[in-house]
Amino acid sequence: MDITLNNVTKRFGSTVAVDAVDLEIPPSSLVCFLGPSGCGKTTLLRLVAGLENADGGTMSFRGRSLAGIPERMRNFGMVFQSYSLFPNLTVEENVAYGLKCHRWGDSDIASRVAELLSLVGVADQRGKYPHMLSGGQQQRVALARALAPRPHVLLLDEPLSALDAKVRRTLRSEIRKLQQELGITTIMVTHDQEEALTMADHVVVMNEGRIIQQGPPAQIYDRPLTPFVAGFVGSMNFLTAVETGEGRFRFAGHELVVDRSCVMAPLKGNAIIAIRPEDVQIARPGAETAHQSGSNTLEASVEWIEFLGGKCLLTLAPSSSQPLTINAEVPARTVHDLKLSVGSSISLSLPPDAFNVYPA
Amino acid sequence: MIGAWLAEISGSSLSTICRSFAGDRFFKAAAVCVTTLLLGLFVAVPIWAILREGLILPDGSWGLGNFVDYFRDPRFVTITSRSLLLAFSATVITIVLAFGYAYALIRTLIPLKSLWRFCALLPIFAPSLVQALGIQFLLGRNGLISNLLGIRIDIYGFWGILLSDMLYAFPHAVLIIITALSVADGRLYEAGRMLGASEFRLFWTVTLPASRYGIMSAAFVVFTIVITDFGNAMVIGGDYSVLATEIYNQVSGQANFRLGAVIGIVLLVPAGLAMLVERQVARRNAAILSERSSPLTLRKHPLRDACAFTYVIVISTIILSVAGIVVVASFVKLWPYNISFTLDHYVTDVQNGYAPLWTSLGMAAITALLGTVLVTLNAYIIEKVSHPYTRVLYFFSVLPAAVPGMVLGLGYILAFNDPSNPVYLLYGTVWFLAINTIFHYHAQAFLIATTNIKQISRTFDEASAMLGATFFRTMTRIALPLLLPSLLSIGLFLFMRAMVTLSAVIFLVSPRNSVAAVSVLLLDDSGKASQAAAFSVVIMAVVLIVAGGFNLAVGVLYARRQERILS
């Protein structure tokens, strides 16, 4: 393991920012810390960087303890949210800065700087000052600066959040490609679940200073361990239900059949049933959906239609004993074909294997 | 184990790494020690010397007996209450006038704003007593106005000191209130107007509340300036003695150091309290600014602008005429009877002639250069080394703001006029005057530096450290280049103060090493008002020329860097 955290804790006054975190980061992988603001992900990154001192626990890098090693001795490269390029130095001087700190020779510095600048695609900007560059270019320079001294680990603190959507998308794939080419162990902090899912080998979802779930992106998305992860990563319908038998639930006057593999934790009667809007299927009233027959089919009326471009988000109100709504995300084409409008009646079905069931 | 790890991780030899790691700590520790030594020696020791002198009774024991005696003497009770009365009156009037002036400059659309700004700042460029000198020429026994109107105005005493101190404190108040009024949040005004508020209501519900800390801060600053001012009271006070002049009379006239120290401590209390409150208020003032504020766009309002324009013209005329009359009087044969042109008064017949001016220039240069380095290092170390102990250093760094110049000067005599003290080697030299001036104005310069250091994002430090830089490298390669414009303005501030300072150095000058402001005082004291005026004009000219050149340089530099740093 490149980085191993054991029971790491950090407090600020009475708030516990990082609460007894255990984590292992394999070599050459890209790990994302994902969570809402204030969940402790940035603090955890800063602990790894050495910018904060842990109040408890141990951290090690390739088997050696990081205790007492100041940040500047770790040779971990870091890219900050606000780029933090030194405004009094040119692009070249910024990239050369870390090399000078590590006492590289002048000719080595020159060739390394040129190499890095062309690697991130800003070679033509070398003589400029940071303020003369666009946000995307600044972030590329920041990346080159962090990578120049051949760091053991690359730390990215919300590197894309200050950029506009288009630049963000390009840089996202560029950073990922670069990381894979160099094979550098990388930790990235983000609050953007899409960013985490597209870039990471391994996603670490955090809340209130703790790791809630970690695993490959697809696993996080398909099998969230808790309602928190389910709600934070992607969007989710939550239904309150009561277990009536093996794989059978009653919710708002309807029977639901659920595959056994969907139950995430032992239940004690009450349950929360989660299903993603894109898994909800719709059809003409009375007709059967493409999916299957009979079970889990509800009659509903369309309460609201939100047009999202290629897709539409429908707010559906099933006929039930209590007021509730279910969101369904369907291709815009389907809405058109079914001639749906607010008030239309439809039939919706919930595939038994698309659920995640949690104890309430 | 750590050594091996360090060597591997940086790819260079073990010894280099251990040295630079230790070097980092060593540099911080050494810097903290130097700061401690300087603040201890030149701030804490003199203040302690004053307190000790005031608290030791004639029989050698310690106690408050000296103060009991002091307040039993009706003469001293009168002097103390006079000082307080003067300070209160001057504060109230100055703040009202300065608020109007600052409001006109910031919140109305009057033409020639930079000219009016310059007029308001004019008194800063001269020793304080120049205001009193000008008022003498205007309203004194042979004053222009008294003669024109054919009346005798008795300006010597309360009213003279009040007027001249108001003029002297005016620019300080205007500057602080301008800052407070400049940070308006345009969104509040837009919201208020949308809700139907009149301009008058907006003034009371938005403008005043938003600037209240600035106003309070200005009030405490003015109070401190007036209660500690020495020059004006000396020139125009006549027999009307106040605390600051009484210290001087006791020490210089009667060599009564003990009574001087007692009066000094009595003066220290209100000045110290005022500065303490001011620091608290100023801290809150800084918190008002939020990043999302949108700038206020001013609207045309002919009546308001006409009133504002008239107002600034009237006030500027008063300030200019007081300064101007000093210039005019310096060039005429016998003010105001024979007003034919002459340069005679520029041939000073005070002891040493213009030598004190050169001493002042040298002293100001040392103060500016050495002071900027010292103050910036102090501020940087105190800001960046987070340790409970640096809070102590912070306290001693801002403490001089609460210590009146007369008190600090007396403290320097008591502490260092002693051949057994190593600092005695410097006693009476230009260097000693410069050191005294640096620490006299340490708090103000230190706060400018601290504010500027805080404005440089902390992530620059972190980015630098992550790249492997030492504390020293981060300071010299990143922080100091970014701070350059502010270093220049600290240098200019110290230079200007050093050129016009009187109160602290008056106790420390020797016949060989005297300063310009003291010459003006001596000339006026010996009845040569016109020569005093001429000497003042020379000082003002030097300060204005240097300040102008400096501002130009800073302006050019700042304009270039500003866009880099703010982008």
Question: In this predicted model, what pLDDT tens digit does every residue of B441-495 receive, in sequence order?
Answer: 999 999 889 888 888 878 899 999 999 998 889 999 999 988 887 888 899 999 9
For residue B101, pLDDT over 90 is answered with yes
Question: What residues contact B545, with CB distance under 8 A and at least 6 apart?
Answer: none
Average per-residue pLDDT in chain B? 86
Report pLDDT for A288.
61
- The whole-number pLDDT of residue B11 equals 42
Beta strands A281-283 and A326-331, pairing class: unpaired
B238 and B228 in contact (C-beta within 8 Å)? no
| A45 and A175 fall within a common domain | yes
Q: Do A130 and B481 touch (CB under 8 A)?
A: no
| Same domain, residue pair A248 and A140 | no
Q: Quote the pLDDT of residue A142.
A: 94
pLDDT classification of B16: cutoffs 50, 70, 90? very low
Q: A290 or B432, which is more confident?
A: B432
* β-bridge pairing A311-318 and B332-334: unpaired
Contact call for B9 and A73, based on CB within 8 A: yes
Among B6, B460, B481, whose Cβ lies nearest the Cβ of A73? B6
* Lowest mean pLDDT, pick from A84-93, A252-261, B180-189: B180-189
Q: B500, B497, B504, B494: which is closest to B408 by C-alpha?
A: B504
> pLDDT above 90 covers what percent of chain A?
62
Task: pLDDT band for A292, please (50, 70, 90 cuts).
Answer: low
Tokens at residue B34, please?
């130097």
In this prediction, residues A94-118 reach a mean pLDDT of 93
Note the pLDDT of residue B12. Answer: 43
- pLDDT, tens only, B548-567: 888 787 777 766 655 554 43
Residue A135 and residue A97 share a domain? yes
For residues B171 and B121, the answer to whether their CB atoms sit within 8 Å is yes
Whether residue B313 has pLDDT greater than 70 = yes
Query: Residue B288 pLDDT more than 50?
Result: yes
Whose tokens are 């404190």? That residue is B169
Of the candidates A68, A80, A98, which has its C-beta nearest B468's C-beta? A98
Are both A211 and A243 inside the same structural domain?
no
* Chain B interface disruption, residue of A53, A73, A139, A187, most B CBs within 10 A: A73
pLDDT digit string, tens, across residues B205-258: 888 888 888 898 899 889 999 998 989 999 998 889 999 999 998 988 888 888
Of A185, A213, A231, which residue is a domain's last?
A231
Does A97 lie at the interface with B, CB-CB under 8 angstroms? yes
Which residues in chain A have their CB less than 8 angstroms from residue B464's CB?
86, 97
Distance from CA of B390 to the nearest CA of A (A): 20
Confidence of residue A224 (pLDDT cuts 50, 70, 90): very high
Q: What pLDDT is attached to residue B286?
A: 57
Comparing CB atoms, the residue among A65, A84, A131 nearest residue B463 is: A84
| A62 lies within 8 A of chain B by CB | no
- Of A231, A266, A288, the position where a domain reaches its end is A231
Question: Is there a single domain that holds both residue A34 and residue A171?
Answer: yes
A200 & A83 share domain: yes
A51 touches chain B (CB under 8 A): yes
In A, minimum Cα distance to B481 occurs at A88
From chain B, pick out residues whose CB is under 8 angstroms from the CB of A65: 1
Cβ separation of A145 and B467 shorter than 8 Å? yes
The CA distance from A161 to A141, in Å, is: 16
Q: Which one, of B446, B451, B438, B436, lies nearest residue B398 by Cα?
A: B446
pLDDT at residue A135 tops 80: yes
Query: What is the pLDDT confidence band of residue B363, given thresholds at 50, 70 and 90?
Result: very high
Residues A297, A256 within the same domain: yes
DSSP letter (8 states) at residue B467: T
- On chain A, the residues whose CB falls within 8 A of the CB of B481 are 88
CB contact under 8 Å between A87 and B564, yes or no, is yes
Cβ within 8 Å of B, A 127-156 = 129-131, 145-146, 149, 152, 155
**pLDDT reported for residue B1:** 42
Measure in Å the smallest separation between the Cα of A74 and chain B Cα atoms: 7
Q: Mean pLDDT score of chain A, rounded to an integer?
A: 90
Q: Which of B462, B465, B564 sits opposite A131 (nearest CB)?
A: B564
Do both A184 and A291 map to the same domain? no
pLDDT band at B18 (very low <50, low <70, confident <90, very high): very low
How close does chain A come to B567, measured CA to CA in Å? 5
**Which domains are seen in chain B, by residue range?**
1-63+348-567 (1.10.3720.10), 64-125+154-289 (1.10.3720.10)
B7 pLDDT more than 60? no
Contact residues, chain B to chain A, C-beta under 8 Å: 1-2, 5-6, 9-12, 16-17, 21, 24, 457, 459-460, 462-470, 473, 477-478, 481-482, 561, 563-567
Backbone angles phi, psi at A272, to 5 degrees: -110, 125
Q: Look at residue B292 and tell me whether its pLDDT is greater than 90.
A: no
Selected residue with higher pLDDT from B101 and B334: B101
CATH number at residue A303: 2.40.50.100
Q: What is the CATH number of the domain that holds A26?
A: 3.40.50.300
Hey, is B460 helix, strand or coil?
helix
Q: What is the pLDDT, as a whole number, of residue B293? A: 60
Res B19: pLDDT:
45
Cα separation of B63 and B77, whole Å? 20
* Same structural domain, A227 and A240: no
| Cβ within 8 Å, pair A73-B17 | yes
A196: left (phi over 0), alpha (psi -120 to 50) or beta: alpha
A101 vs B contacts (CB less than 8 Å)? 467-470, 473
According to DSSP, residue B56 is labeled: B
Which one of A49, A75, A85 has the shortest CB-CB distance to B9?
A75
**Contact of A161 with A192, CB cutoff 8 Å:** yes
Give me Rg for the CA atoms of chain B: 26
Comparing C-alpha atoms, which of B319, B156, B318, B329 is closest to residue B245? B156
* B440 CB-near residues (< 8 Å, 6+ apart): B400, B405, B408, B497, B501, B504
> Which DSSP helix (H) or strand (E) runs through B142?
none
> Is A83 in the same domain as A222?
yes
Cβ–Cβ gap B467/A70 under 8 Å: no
Of A169, A196, A231, which residue is a domain's last?
A: A231
ipTM, 2 dp: 0.83
> How many residues in total does chain A contain?
360
- A105 and A221 in a single domain? The answer is yes
From the candidates B5, B13, B455, B466, which should be mutated to test the interface with A, based on the most A CB atoms within 10 A? Answer: B466
Average pLDDT over residues A124-138: 91
- Percentage of chain B exceeding pLDDT 90: 38
Question: Is residue B20 scored above 70 in pLDDT?
Answer: no
Q: Check residue B4 and give its pLDDT.
A: 46
Q: Which chain A residues are within 8 Å of B21, Cβ to Cβ?
A: 70, 73
Predicted TM-score (pTM) of the model is: 0.83
- Which residues, 6+ apart, have CB-to-CB distance to A322 below 8 Å? A252, A253
Which residues from A are below 8 Å from B473, CB to CB? 101
Return the bridge partners of A271, or none.
A241, A359
Residue of chain B nearest A98, judged by CA positions: B467
Percent of chain A at pLDDT > 70 equals 97
Work out how many domains chain A is built from and give that number: 2
Q: Are A64 and A201 in a shared domain?
A: yes
Please judge whether B1 and A64 are an interchain contact, meaning their C-beta atoms are less than 8 angstroms apart: yes
Please judge whether A51 and B459 are an interchain contact, meaning their C-beta atoms are less than 8 angstroms apart.
Answer: no
pLDDT band, very low/low/confident/very high, at A122 (cuts 50, 70, 90): very high
Question: Which residues form the domain of A222?
Answer: 3-231
Among A296-300, B101-105, B437-441, the minimum mean pLDDT is found in A296-300
Bridge-partner residues for A237, per DSSP? A275
Separation between Cα atoms, residue B505 and residue B485, nearest integer Å: 29
Please compute the mean of the pLDDT values over residues A54-78 and round it to a whole number: 91
Across the interface, do B469 and A130 touch by the CB < 8 Å criterion? no
How far away is chain A from the Cα of B169, in angstroms, using its nearest Cα?
38
CA distance B534 to B343: 9
Q: What integer pLDDT is reported at residue B558 of this predicted model?
A: 67
Instruction: Indicate the SS3 state at residue B239.
Output: coil
Query: Given an 8 Å threshold on Cβ–Cβ distance, is A64 in contact with B5?
Result: yes
Q: Closest-CA residue in chain A for B469?
A: A101
* Across B365-391, average pLDDT: 91
Give the distance from residue B172's alpha carbon to the nearest chain A alpha carbon, in angstroms.
33
